[in-house]
Structure 1
Amino acid sequence: MKSTILTLGILLLAIPGLVLAQEEGAKEEAHEKELAHEHSAEMVNLPTAAVAVLASTSGSDVKGVIMLKQEDGYVHLTGEVINLEPGEHGFHIHEFGDLTKADGTAAGGHFNPDGHEHGAPGAKSHAGDLGNITADDSGVAKIDTKAEGLKLHIVLGRSIVVHAKADDLKSQPSGDAGPRVGVGVIGIAKPSE
């Protein structure tokens, strides 16, 4: 009988502690849900505008500014590149935003998350294959192109590269476009006012 009373007494003393632990657990769970909701709200507000300021690689004087804007189903790229040789030049998104090598090679290869072969812009080529830009006789290339199916948020922090020669849109792995003459990291643009 004494052991039953002792057991009941211990249980009665333990119950308030269990209730407090449950309340603390419920508060912690509610806080975690609140944080998850805030995180998902941040994910909904993905950046819709970005910019890449092209810097010259060694032996080049190429410069430019490329604006990127998320649209419904594509990223719209606009801008201008100067000091190019007249004619066509390969134009790609490369996998890294690393400008630590003077020749631009630290930017890595074309951005290609799906493992496609290189080719003309489209669903069966690298996500970073943007084709060619054309410089006029004064060395200026105006850019106004749509990267169909691309999502802006997945290319932030990567780079845009302009090459010395035209991309032949077929040679593997990168279109035989020659050395990199301009490279710029894709960063979030200040919202327009």
Structure 2
Amino acid sequence: MKNFFIVTLLCVALVGCKEPVKQTDTNNETEVAPVEKSITATALVSAKSNSAVSGTVTFTESNGIVVMNANLSGLTPGPHAIHIHENGDCSADDASSAGGHWNPTQDDHGAWEHKGFHKGDIGNLQADENGIATLTLETDLWCINCEDETKNIVGKSIVIHKDVDDMKSQPSGNAGDRIGCGEIVLEDK
């Protein structure tokens, strides 16, 4: 019985003192990198300019990639521009307090990830016959709460426009009135 107890203690001690898992190739030994946790920011979109728009735009960053998921309702059927604007202030009735498109690199307005576009030039979403629209976008051009102000979207706002973004008119695509706005806020976890 005494030997069993000693063997058990030795097993527990050996298991408890394991080193971190390592991957080994023929000549190099490297530690496995920890899995990066995700971080989330959300914009609660509310109606502006006497519209009925509401919804949520969620941003989730993991491993250097931000995924945006927009879920909106109360739109008129058809296309509507969606942009990130420079100020996280939606207090004005017409959302003018949100400022212009977020454009930290001072580029021309244009289509997302084409030559010449603002970091806030998301593009258009399509509302169905019930006024519901969804849009998903994935990019490494944004970050959530990072120190790079040319990428950090926290403290900016999401703005939904009445009309379609033509992707060429300067400085904002001739997208019409601002009918929805929500500040992009870091979620507490």
Q: Compute the TM-score of the two structures, normalised by the length of structure 2.
A: 0.73
Within the candidate set 164, 167, 174, 1:166 is matched to 164
1:174 partner SS:
coil
- The alpha-carbon distance between structure 1 residues 106 and 118, as it changes in their structure 2 partners (threshold 3 A), is same
Match of 2:62 in 1: 71
Match of 2:52 in 1: 61
User: Are the counterparts in 2 of residues 76 and 146 from structure 1 also a CA contact under 8 Å?
Assistant: yes
Within the candidate set 64, 80, 92, 1:101 is matched to 92
In 1, the alpha carbon distance for the partners of 2:79 and 2:129 equals 11
Matched residues, number: 147
Q: Which segment is superposed worse, 47-56 or 99-108?
A: 47-56
1:106 partner SS:
helix
In 1, the alpha carbon distance for the partners of 2:159 and 2:48 equals 10
Task: Tell me how far 1:96 sits from its aligned partner.
Answer: 0.1
Structure 1 runs not aligned, ≥5 long: 1-44
Large movers: runs of 4+ above 6 Å? none
Match of 2:109 in 1: 118
Match of 1:145 in 2: 137
Structure 2 runs not aligned, ≥5 long: 1-35, 146-151
Q: Which segment is superposed worse, 108-117 or 138-147?
A: 138-147
Q: Compute the TM-score of the two structures, normalised by the length of structure 1.
A: 0.71
Does residue 133 of the first structure (1) align with residue 133 of the second (2)?
no
More helix by share: 1
Query: Among the aligned pairs, what percent are the same residue?
Result: 38
Task: Tell me how far 1:101 sits from its aligned partner.
Answer: 1.1
Larger radius of gyration: 1
Give the aligned CA root-mean-square deviation in angstroms. 1.8
